[in-house]
């Protein structure tokens, strides 16, 4: 499908993906934040399990649990944010930008 600018009929149209970028970043940050709070309990569980093997195991278990919590939270948050941003790009924002005349529009407003 070729997208044309509704203002000047140019086919030099670029998708900006502002929503995707913003929501992806926000989602990652929020995901890491919630992951870090989950990591506290992850660290506790890791430390408890690691405690069976002694003080070193307890420390390693705690670090591993914290890392896993933050990582999983960040990836999950980023994925959710990017998906949400795509949805916003497609439905709400004027995410198409004409490189010929500078007009901004979205696919739905094209007639």
Which residues of this chain interact with Zn ion, rule CB under 5 A? Answer: 5, 7-8, 10, 98, 100-101, 103
Tokens of 77: 């948050």
- Exposure b/e, 71-91, CB count within 10 A at least 16 = b: ebbbebbbebbbebbbebbee
- The minimum distance between CB 89 and Zn ion, in angstroms, equals 19
- The minimum distance between CB 88 and Zn ion, in angstroms, equals 23
Tokens of 11: 């086919």
For residues 5 and 47, which CB has a smaller minimum distance to Zn ion in the complex? 5
For residues 44 and 104, which CB has a smaller minimum distance to Zn ion in the complex? 104
- The minimum distance between CB 75 and Zn ion, in angstroms, equals 38
Q: What are phi and psi of 106, to 5 degrees?
A: -120, 165
- The minimum distance between CB 96 and Zn ion, in angstroms, equals 10
Helix, coil or strand: residue 14: strand
For residues 10 and 91, which CB has a smaller minimum distance to Zn ion in the complex? 10
């Amino acid at each position: 499908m070729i997208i044309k600018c509704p203002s000047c009929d140019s086919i030099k149209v670029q998708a900006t993906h502002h929503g995707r970028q913003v929501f992806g970043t926000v989602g990652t940050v929020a995901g890491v934040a919630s992951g870090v709070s989950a990591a506290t309990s992850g660290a506790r569980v890791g430390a408890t399990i690691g405690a069976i093997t002694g003080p070193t195991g307890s420390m390693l278990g705690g670090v591993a649990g914290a890392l896993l919590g933050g990582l999983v939270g960040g990836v999950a948050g980023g994925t959710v944010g990017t998906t949400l941003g795509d949805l916003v790009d497609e439905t709400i924002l004027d995410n198409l930008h004409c490189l010929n005349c500078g007009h901004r529009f979205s696919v739905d407003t094209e007639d």
